Structures are given as C-alpha cells and as structure tokens.
Amino acid sequence: MAKLEPSVIESMGFASIGKNVTISDKASFYNCANISIGNSARIDDFCVLSAGEGGIFIGNHVHIAVYSSLIGAGKITLSDFSGLSSRVSIYSSNDDYSGATMTNPTIPSQYAGVTHGDVYLGKHVIIGSGTVILPGVTLEEGVAVGALSLVRKNCKAFGIYLGYPAKFVKKRKRDLLELEKAFLSSLNQ
C-alpha cells in the first residue's frame, strides 16, 4: 500500500489528525473539515470517508481495511482499538425504499425521505468483511460482528453477533482488556 506523506495528510484539512497515521494514497475523503483521526490509525486502499454534518471521529489504533466506506449526515464514531474488515459499509443516512418518496442524492429533500442517525462503535469493536451497519446503531464496547452481516439494531457489550439481520450468538471473551492495559503500559516505557 502506497501511503500519503505526513505533510500531505496535514495539508488535507482534517478537523484533527493524530500522530503516526497511515493513509493510503488511494483512499478518498469528502468534507475533511468534519473528520477527526486519532493516533496510529490506518486507512487502507479504496476506502471512502464522506463526512456529513455530524462528522466522522476515528479513535486511536483504529484500522479501516480496503474498500470500506463511512457515509452519511449523522455522526459516525469508531472508538479506540476498533476495526473494520474489508468492504464494511457504515451508513449514518439512508433513503426510504418503500416507494413513498423519491430516492438518491440528486432529489431535493422535500421529495425524498432520507433518515439520519448517529452510528457509534465502542472500544475494541470488530466488524467482519462485507458487513453493513445502518443509521442509528450503537455497538457497545467489545462487540464482534461476523462477516456478511446486516446490523440494524444496537448490540450489547462483548456480544458476538452475526447474520442477516445480525443476531446475538454468544458472549465474547474480555481478555483483550488486560492486553490493552499491557499494551498501553508498554507505550509509556
């Protein structure tokens, strides 16, 4: 992956940018002034981050893998140590598909029925490849979502969810919390 030089990243106009950030030169960003990126974050090839009014907030040690997209008017938050596998799509805005309104962004709002909702991923959330997350969803700390899932509802802390729509399968181990402490302690040495 060819990455952008730090000076280029600094010149893009992000709301804030952390240290040791790795961004592919093939990633696309829209409305950088509403995007904040934390320390040691990595954004891979062909990702699209299109921030609306709510903005996009990426924490520390977050990975966004190839072909992922974060799009919409609502706020999208990826907390520390969270990760998106390839082709994950997070939407904080969604058209009304019922036929009651017109659809797509070329239509004036009075003819469309777009809904907006903030999306929040807590610390240590991991999302499997090809998963779609819809507006208004909160994934609490430690949630894991299996590949090719559709997340329409909130997910409780340290649960493993999968399917279409995503459903709770079992509890996730919490060992990673101790590993986080050891990792952060090692950074301070």
Q: Looking at the domain assignment, is residue 75 inside a domain?
A: yes
- Give the per-residue pLDDT at 82: 98
- Give the per-residue pLDDT at 188: 85
Phi, then psi, of 49 in degrees rounded to 5:
-120, 110
List the CATH number of the domain containing 16: 2.160.10.10
Number of domains in the chain: 1
Spans of the chain, pLDDT less than 70: none
| DSSP string across 34-75 | GEEE-TT-EE-TT-EEEE-TT-EEE-TT-EE-TT-EEEESS-
Domain span at 40 = 6-187
- Give the per-residue pLDDT at 107: 95
Q: Looking at the domain assignment, is residue 1 inside a domain?
A: no
